[in-house]
Amino acid sequence: MTAILLAAGRGMRLKPYTHDRTKGLVEAAGRPLFDYVLNFLRDIGVDQIIVVGGFEAEKVRTYLNKNAPDVTFLKIDDVTKGNLGTLLTALPHMNDSLLIINSDHIYKRSLASVIKKQCFGITAFCDTDRVLGTDDMKVKRFGNNVKKISKQLIEWTNGYVGMTYIDKTKLPLYRATANKLYKDSDGTIAVEGILAQLADDEQDVHIGDISGHGWLEIDNEEELIAAERTIAQNPSQYIDINFTETNTKDKLPSLVSHE
């Protein structure tokens, strides 16, 4: 299984922390967000990791060269559009089963085994134990499949947690749907649009349930501060304390300051 880590965006809602870096290089509890997601992917046991960067791409490349030299780095030039374009930078080259994941999500390590047990077909990982806001991706299910997925849903049953699995047998379907969506749009569409289109086409998009484990999204300063406090209570729930430390000599300065 190959993991594609989407990390090209400017993270405008997380300014000033993203003034000179992409979200993955913003620190939470003393570590870049990249540390958490790369550690999590290694816990899952993926065979290959591909990071697609864009904004401040060379800083991402430097981080990976020092801390994860086995990770493949790809660069997208236009970071002003939706992250479907980011995904399509890597997707044409894929032949293996995929796990698509974001750089601004921190998952409990206990979720690795939960994820692995639910990877089949096309699976959108969701939960039911959050209060969803206007900017959260909402899912309406039918049986164990996604019927609708959108931030604008009025009624929903689940919240999407930013992670999708595509078995290699379903990769041609997923890729064709992604290419058609991108071609027919202005390029601003998000990757979740692929799942929405597949559901509209009555293709099976399974729901993988991670409820009860907990995860952290870092989209703005309030969420960053909350994440730091949560991680501080039990850091080992979120990262192996022996996971490669970022070279302190070359770390970007942290802007986080809490009273």
> Are the CB atoms for 211 and 150 separated by under 8 Å?
no
Q: What is the pLDDT of residues 167-226, one digit of tens each?
A: 999 999 999 999 999 998 877 789 999 999 999 999 999 999 999 988 999 999 999 999
Query: Kind of pairing, strands 122-127 and 206-209?
Result: parallel
Spell out the alpha helix ranges (H) of 131-213. 171-184, 192-200
Q: How confident is the model at residue 252 (pLDDT cuts 50, 70, 90)?
A: very low
Give pLDDT, residue 258: 39
How many C-beta neighbours within 10 Å does residue 80 have? 11
Q: Give me the phi and psi of 200, to 5 degrees please.
A: -60, -35
- The pTM for the full model equals 0.90
Q: Where are the domains of the chain?
A: 2-233
Based on its alpha-carbon atoms, the radius of gyration of the chain, rounded to whole angstroms, reads 17
Q: What is the pLDDT of residues 11-24, one digit of tens each?
A: 788 888 888 889 99
Mean pLDDT of 1-28: 89
Give pLDDT, residue 80: 67
SS3 assignment, position 52: strand
Q: What is the pLDDT of residues 89-105, one digit of tens each?
A: 999 989 999 999 999 99
Give pLDDT, residue 18: 82
From CA 127, how far away is CA 137, in angstroms rounded?
A: 11
CA distances from 157 to 117, 183, 191 (A): 22, 31, 20
* Mean pLDDT, the chain, integer: 90
Give pLDDT, residue 27: 93
Give pLDDT, residue 244: 67
DSSP 190-215: -THHHHHHHHHTT---EEEE-TTT-E
From CA 131, how far away is CA 51, in angstroms rounded?
A: 30
> Are the CB atoms for 100 and 191 separated by under 8 Å?
yes
Q: Is 76 exposed, middle or buried (0-12, 13-18, 19+ CB in 10 A)?
A: buried
> Are the CB atoms for 25 and 252 separated by under 8 Å?
yes
Q: How confident is the model at residue 255 (pLDDT cuts 50, 70, 90)?
A: very low
> Are the CB atoms for 137 and 149 separated by under 8 Å?
yes
Q: What is the CATH number of domain 2-233?
A: 3.90.550.10
| Range with lowest mean pLDDT among 132-136, 202-206, 241-245 | 241-245
